[in-house]
Amino acid sequence: MKNHFTVQIYTGEIHSAPQPLDIPALISKFEQIYQKAHLDCVMIGENPDAEIDELADYLRQRGTDVYLWLSVFSGHRGLSALVNPQNKPVRQDYDPDDEKFVFGCPGNPENIRYIKQIFEKYYQRRKYDGIFLDKIRFPGFSCGTEPVFTCFCPHCRANYPVSDRIQIGNGENPLGITGYGNLKYTLADKNLHDLFAYKAEAVTASLISLIAYFREKKYKIGLDLFAPFLSYFVGQDYAALAPYADFIKPMFYRKTYAPAGLPFEIDKYANAFGGSLQEIEKRRLYLYKMLQTSAIDMSFINREIKAMRSHIGTAKLYSGIEVNYHEKIAPVKASYIKENIRMTENVDGFALSWDLCGTPDENLKAALDAGE
């Protein structure tokens, strides 16, 4: 299924002015796609004032589903915060150069009620075939360890009362990882294991409630997920979540140096526990050892996909690859895109990420040529 694609169109943040869309340019890109491939779905978001009706009608006439691209636990002002052991909001400051993703607590049912209100207030008036749920997780290691070893809000304390006994090391294996299989790590320390298990349960319970709400309104569901070997750290349990979705998009961004990008997240994990450059490098190598690979290459990605297949039920699997170009955070060239598409096995298609508006023509062409 190398010639089945989904694409995303970014229309700006929810609370700011919409980014102007060049509709004729987008339609010209879509015509190129339809000539060579199947376009199964387009995720558009998330500014509610963006003028997308003409585009949505055009896509539906061609048999392409139009999904609302909706952030859940990050990107909204009214989410209640993650809380640290001192009952203070967790700081999620990033380097000034990084994208700012500040997360609310996935374990707090108020936050799910809030997202439903946001949907009703801003999006319900438009016609969508489905909802693509993004940022369905706890924060990763981007801001150090504190945002990961959460949450201590009253809702989370009620469900995970031992979290203040968490002990983390600072050596080459700070989490006490003893192995990796079936999309999960095994950890030596029971309290730490229980914390990550709780985080996955919190995300899953909240999403089941949110998905039930959308299913009642007859929407299809897509899920944006971290690569499995990173998903464990942010509370995403593929086996628990995927069966609720029509499709999942694991983000296998091997070039992206921003949240969800594989080199970025591995670096942030290795750096989060401090130490000298040598110690940080040892930590990275130890993680590779646990993953039984020497690099995050196509053979490792295919192993991840193979492991995923037995856990995701009937959900379709679109491998998320970058096609945008950014000199610093995503230096993506045609050869990389072709390698991804030609070498990936056992998928239903590819999610060309993360914004068709900013995708260079040669990158789109590379994806379509490789998919033929």
List residues binding Zn ion (CB under 5 A).
Answer: 105, 107, 151, 153, 156
The Cα–Cα gap between 137 and 238 comes to 12
* Chain center to CA of 13: 17
Written as six digits, the tokens of 124 are: 């319900």
Nearer residue to Zn ion within complex by CB, 136 or 351: 136
* Chain center to CA of 80: 21
Residue 233: which H helix or E strand, with range?
none
Nearer residue to Zn ion within complex by CB, 156 or 308: 156
The Cα–Cα gap between 185 and 179 comes to 6
DSSP-derived letter for residue 140 is -
**How far apart are CB 112 and Zn ion at their closest, in Å?**
12
Nearer residue to Zn ion within complex by CB, 101 or 318: 101
Nearer residue to Zn ion within complex by CB, 153 or 227: 153
- The answer to whether 327 and 318 have CB atoms below 8 angstroms apart is no
Q: Environment class of residue 118 by beta-carbon count within 10 Å: exposed (0-12), middle (13-18) or buried (19+)?
A: buried
CB atoms inside a 10 Å sphere around CB 15: 11
The two beta strands, 130-134 and 65-71, are parallel
The Cα–Cα gap between 260 and 254 comes to 10
Torsion angles phi and psi, residue 170, rounded to 5: -135, 20
CB atoms inside a 10 Å sphere around CB 143: 20
- The answer to whether 244 and 208 have CB atoms below 8 angstroms apart is yes
**How far apart are CB 153 and Zn ion at their closest, in Å?**
3
The Cα–Cα gap between 19 and 219 comes to 25
Nearer residue to Zn ion within complex by CB, 151 or 370: 151
Nearest to 318, CA basis, from 20, 62, 26, 43: 43
Nearer residue to Zn ion within complex by CB, 105 or 175: 105
Nearer residue to Zn ion within complex by CB, 89 or 176: 89
Nearer residue to Zn ion within complex by CB, 130 or 140: 140
